[in-house]
Amino acid sequence: MRVYRRPRVAILSTGNELADLGREPGPGQIPNTNTYALMAQVLEAGGEPINLGVAADDLEDIEGRLRAVEHADMLVSSAGVSVGDLDLVRAALEKLGAELHLWQVSMRPGKPITFGSLRGRPLFGLPGNPVSAMVTFELFVRPALRKMQGHAELDRPRIAAKAAEPIANPGFRRGYLRVTLTPERDHYAARLTGEQGSAILRSMVLADGFAVVPGDTTIEKSEPVDVIVLKPLGVFSG
């Protein structure tokens, strides 16, 4: 769908465990970070975020909020797209007549992701873990937003860095590991931001880029590593 202006992006977070901004988390709850992180990413990509709030793990609540896509050019949801009993986003989308084109991607973090269309508008169902949501936004949603604005260059730049220390990606899924980048004499040195768990927001806050590492692979110190660069060259935190 051609837009060629600031795309309006409806953002929905789901989950009984989420306490929205201004609410004290109750027992078993966590702060809702996804909505506001995704809104910031939409703004950085040139879009206009529309906050649909937090839907409970209730089919009617999710369906009702998703109807707001009528006023948006794109829908982005987080959580509820896996296979648990309370993962109801897919059912809500199907009730609304959405056509789903893919379901799950072999990547780490971010395996449970869906892409489809709803009444001619693209929709992305992102994972619920904060880092997974932000990484999948970068890889899938941001290029789509840039395409809708008529940009020729859709993806972040990539560089061939060198590992400052071993960078391991256990498991068969391709890894998008958060790294800092430090300029050296003739290359950039990539170093993991720390623990890489999909709920560790610090790994994204500190990241200058994503090291793209095949499954079951360790990039040894001084070996080349492909890095998707998130920040302009020269302003790295390292």
DSSP 8-state secondary structure symbol assigned to residue 231: S
- Indicate the SS3 state at residue 83: coil
pTM here is: 0.92
Both structure tokens of 146: 């840039």
Q: How many CA atoms lie within 13 A of 153 on its CB side?
A: 3
Residue where the block lists tokens 């999710």: 62
184 CB-contact burial (10 Å; exposed 0-12 / middle 13-18 / buried 19+): exposed
Measured CA to CA in angstroms, residue 94 lies from 9, 108, 127, 164, 233 at distances of: 20, 26, 18, 47, 43
**Chain-centre distance for alpha carbon 210:** 12
Which pLDDT does position 234 carry in this prediction?
A: 66
pLDDT tens sequence for the chain (238 residues)? 566 679 999 999 999 999 898 888 889 899 999 999 999 999 999 999 999 999 998 999 999 998 867 789 999 999 877 655 556 888 898 889 999 898 889 999 998 899 999 988 999 999 999 999 999 999 999 999 999 999 999 999 999 999 999 999 999 999 999 999 999 988 999 999 999 999 999 999 999 999 999 999 999 999 999 999 999 876 554 4
Distance CA 65, CA 95 (A): 13
Longest dimension (CA), the chain: 58
The DSSP line for 116-129 is EEETTEEEEEE-SS
Structural domains of the chain ordered from first start: 8-148 (3.40.980.10), 158-229 (2.40.340.10)
